[in-house]
Every structure is written in structure tokens, then in C-alpha cells.
Structure 1
Amino acid sequence: MAAAVGACFNHLARESSDVDRLAHFYQEIFGLERIEGQNFGFKVIWLRQSPSFNLHLIERDSQTKLPEGPWSAKDDSLADPSKLFRGHHLCFDVAKDNFDSFVQTLKEKGIETDERMQPNGKTKQVFFFDPDGNGLEVSSRDS
């Protein structure tokens, strides 16, 4: 099957019962900028990191039956970043020169982290959760 002509990434959405708290986290930790968006009849906060990455934080529908994230589960072990499901995370990059400082900032904010080295032995990774329990990864990249 051929790729759609001109298709490109638009946004990633996260549902939350407290979109303001979640927006503050992404603005403070990753520097995302709050931008104006459309009115859908429910609260949505639009954040942008670059022209090609947008994050939409959507007010949780009280009728939904799905759990909000690992922290909404009864098993506290799911909030342990070392047990983050490998297929359920959002990844950002940080320049190698700033990686250790970034991880230290997370720790100073009381965010539990799991640091790893990729099998190539060159790329550092840190895994953690946002306030709703969504998995996050930050990996080091060459400047």
C-alpha cells in the first residue's frame, strides 16, 4: 500500500481529568508552548514544541471506561518507570551535553526515573511518567 501523498504528523492526544495540571507539566519539563486551538465543546489545551510536534490535552470524558494511565491502576508497581511498557511511551531528545542536567532536574522535582544505556553503548535514555501515568522517554542525541 502506498503512503498517502503529502501525509505528515499532526499531533498526539492525551486524555486527562486535569488538563491544566498536565499542561503545566509538559510546559515546565519540555518547554512546550501553549497555543490557541479550536473549541470542541469540551476543554482541550493545545501545546506545541515545534511546527511538526503538537500535543493536545483533552478533558477526560467521565463516561469512558478506560483507565487513565498506570497510576490509576490498583497495582502500584505499574508506576515504576523500570516497568514501563516498551510500546507505550512518548520520546523526546535532549542534546548529550545537557542530558545529565535534564535527568538531575527531573530528580530535583521528585520524578522517579529509570536510566538506561541503549545497546549501542552511546545513547543514554531516561524513562519516567507524566502526572497521569503516561510513559515518557528522553534520549541523548548528538548536539
Structure 2
Amino acid sequence: MIEGILETALYADDLDKAEVFYDSVLGLEKIRRGGNRHIFYRCGPGVLLIFNPAATSVPIADDPFPVPTHGTKGPGHACFFVTQDDLDAMARNLQEAGVPIESELTWPNGARSIYFRDPAGNSLECASRTLWTS
């Protein structure tokens, strides 16, 4: 259903709940889980990074890939693009999983979006690929 995202990071204090949501409800392909620090998902040609904010604010000793520490407090936002048909299927899938849809919009250019939240409170959106075209 979800076609892609280049790369974005969202934060969740409870990675177990996040894992169930992104695996089962959204159906993303897990690349790997790094303990209680992160879970990485394939999302089309890109990657969705789910980090535990407490863990990513602490540098890893002798890290061979010294990415700067990062994290955030409070919910973030990510938008996944889907086909028009898959947008309807995603809405049904969310409803069947008991995930409330907060908003459904049709934009002036005809693109559609649905908004919902993951277990950590992150605002997620699935939208037509044409959302940002004029």
C-alpha cells in the first residue's frame, strides 16, 4: 500500500508497541531492530527510522558510524504516498485495526489525504502522490 518515503525519523518511547503497529497495521518491511534503541523499516525506496528518544540522545561509545545524537520530544509527522485505490484500502485497514482516522481531506488539486496516529502519538498521513503538484 505505502509506496515510499525517502527517509524520516519518528520517535517512540515504547518500541514494542511501535513495532506491532508498523509491522502489523501498516505492513512495512522491517530492516532490523537494534534492541531498545531503534527499528528501521523499508518504505518503498526509502527508510522509516523509529527511534527511542531516550536512547538516541546518548552517544554510542566507539560507534563505527558516528551519527550525531538526535531526538525530539512530542509527536512528529510523516506522510506516506499511496495510489488513490490504496488510500481507500489503507483507510479500511486502519479502521479494521481500530486505529481512528482523525481527518480525511481532498485538497484543491484533487489529491486526498487521511490522517491518523501511531501508538506514540505521531501524526501520520497517507496521501496521493500528487499532493504537492499544482
> What TM-score does the superposition give when structure 2 sets the normalisation length?
0.66
1:54 to 35, 47, 60: 47
List runs of 5+ in structure 2 lacking aligned partners.
58-71
State the Cα distance separating 1:10 from its structure 2 match: 6.6
1: CA distance between counterparts of 2:85 and 2:36? Answer: 41
| Percent of aligned pairs with the same amino acid | 32
2: CA distance between counterparts of 1:13 and 1:92? Answer: 13
1:91 maps onto 2:84 in alignment: no
Give the structure, 1 or 2, with the largest relative contact order (CA under 8 Å, sep 6 or more): 2
Structure whose CA Rg is larger = 1
Q: Secondary structure at the match of 1:131?
A: coil
> How many residue pairs were aligned?
110
2:17 to 18, 21, 28: 21
Tell me, yes or no, if the aligned pair for 1:95 and 1:141 is still in contact at 8 Å: yes
Q: 1:57 to 1:104 in 2, by over 3 A?
A: same
1:137 to 106, 125, 130: 125
List runs of 5+ in structure 1 lacking aligned partners.
1-8, 70-87
Tell me, yes or no, if the aligned pair for 2:28 and 2:43 is still in contact at 8 Å: yes
State the Cα distance separating 1:101 from its structure 2 match: 2.2
Q: 1:36-75 counterparts in 2 under 5 A? A: 36=32, 43-51=37-45, 53-61=46-54, 67-69=73-75
1:117 to 106, 111, 116: 106
- C-alpha offsets along residues 40-91 of structure 1, whole Å, 9 cap, x if unaligned? x85221211233x1122222318x8x6443xxxxxxxxxxxxxxxxxx5211
Q: 1:126 to 1:18 in 2, by over 3 A?
A: same
1:33 maps onto 2:26 in alignment: no
Q: 1:117 to 1:56 in 2, by over 3 A?
A: same
RMSD: 2.8
Tell me, yes or no, if the aligned pair for 1:34 and 1:45 is still in contact at 8 Å: yes
Q: 1:6-17 counterparts in 2 under 5 A? A: 11-17=7-13
Tell me, yes or no, if the aligned pair for 1:12 and 1:54 is still in contact at 8 Å: yes
